[in-house]
A and B are shown apart, each in its own frame.
Chain A
Amino acid sequence: MTQFAGWLAATQASVWIASHEWVIPTIQSIHIVAIGVALVSAFMIGFRALGWTGSDQTPAETMERFWPWLAGSLVVLLATGALMVAGEPARELLAFSFWLKMCLVVIATALTWWVGRSQTRALTFVTLLVWVGIIFLGRLIAYDHIWGSWSMSPKA
């Protein structure tokens, strides 16, 4: 992985991103805007299952309203996330938080789909917690030393 990160860092795209100061904060800002759309879409699907919002709508109508926005924002998140990896390969690819986050994104997306279909209350709480955990892990990529030897980062 360290070799791959080194190869990626030497590519033209990576060098360009890294050499322009405004690029990383811009990508991160777009990433955060998309997190807002994704998180609230998942929460609206979950809150409907809990009966906290949207009780005038059927579960199917709630899925119809919010699932496309969740899927669309996830595409934006993957694209901006990929650009961040390209710009700072070592920071992301060697971070334990990054890989745990990637696993949880897959799990949270599947859980949200399941919650939207099944309206299972207990599963809803787990799903919403996983989404919040993903946000924490995203921020913790900058502090990967907390994971000790689980982190591949040489700084840890």
Chain B
Amino acid sequence: MEGALASIEGLRLAEYIRQSLYFFPFLESLHVVGLTMVFGSIAVLDLRLLGIASIRRPVARVAIDVEKWAWWAFALTAVTGALMFITNASVYYHNTFFRLKMAMLVLAGVNVAFFEFTARRSLQQWNADARAPLAGRAAATVSLVLWIAIIFMGRWIGFTTTRVTGTKPDPGVNIEDLLPK
């Protein structure tokens, strides 16, 4: 495993991100845009299933509105997360909060599968109801708790790991160098 992690860190792309002053902050920002869209859009559906919001709209309509955005945002979050991971793979791999976060992401996936195979099967029967049957409400609650916990874990990774930066000296480039004198 250590060998694999070391070779991931040795990738030219990983080296490139470490050496750049702006690439990592850029990835972090896109990661936040992606993850907040994932959480927010999934929450819209979860709150509908729980009978808290959008209750006058059929569940299927609400789902169509948010699901495709959630998937695109998840893809963005996964790609930017993977790019941050490769810059310092061995540190993240051994970080407890990183491991908890990955475990929770798997659980969130299992929870989606549970919903698909239970409540969603009979969606046509309760589509217009103010709230979903028990299995749907349970999945929605688990989803909200997991995604909020995932956000907390993500923030804790940032506070318990040290970002590795390049060995090149800071060229001192800033916004003023890009503007006409």
User: Which residues of A are at the interface with B, using a C-beta cutoff of 8 A?
Assistant: 21, 24-26, 28-29, 32-33, 35-41, 43-44, 47, 53-54, 56-57, 65, 69, 132, 135-136, 138-140, 142-143, 145-150, 156
Contacts A33-B151, A148-B175 given; does A138 touch B43 at CB 8 Å: no
Of B25-33, B101-109, B111-119, B125-133, the one contacting chain A is B25-33
Closest to B159 in A: A25
Contacts A29-B155, A147-B175 given; does A40 touch B29 at CB 8 Å: no
Contacts of A136 in B (CB 8 A): 29, 33
Q: Evaluate contact between B35 and A36: CB separation under 8 angstroms.
A: yes
Give which listed residue, A36, A139, A156, contacts B43 with CB less than 8 A.
Answer: A36
Closest to B44 in A: A40
Contacts of B16 in A (CB 8 A): none
Task: Give the CA-CA distance A28 to B158 in the complex, in Å.
Answer: 11
Q: Evaluate contact between B53 and A65: CB separation under 8 angstroms.
A: yes
Task: Give the CA-CA distance A40 to B43 in the complex, in Å.
Answer: 9
Contacts A36-B39, A39-B37, A147-B175 given; does A29 touch B32 at CB 8 Å: no
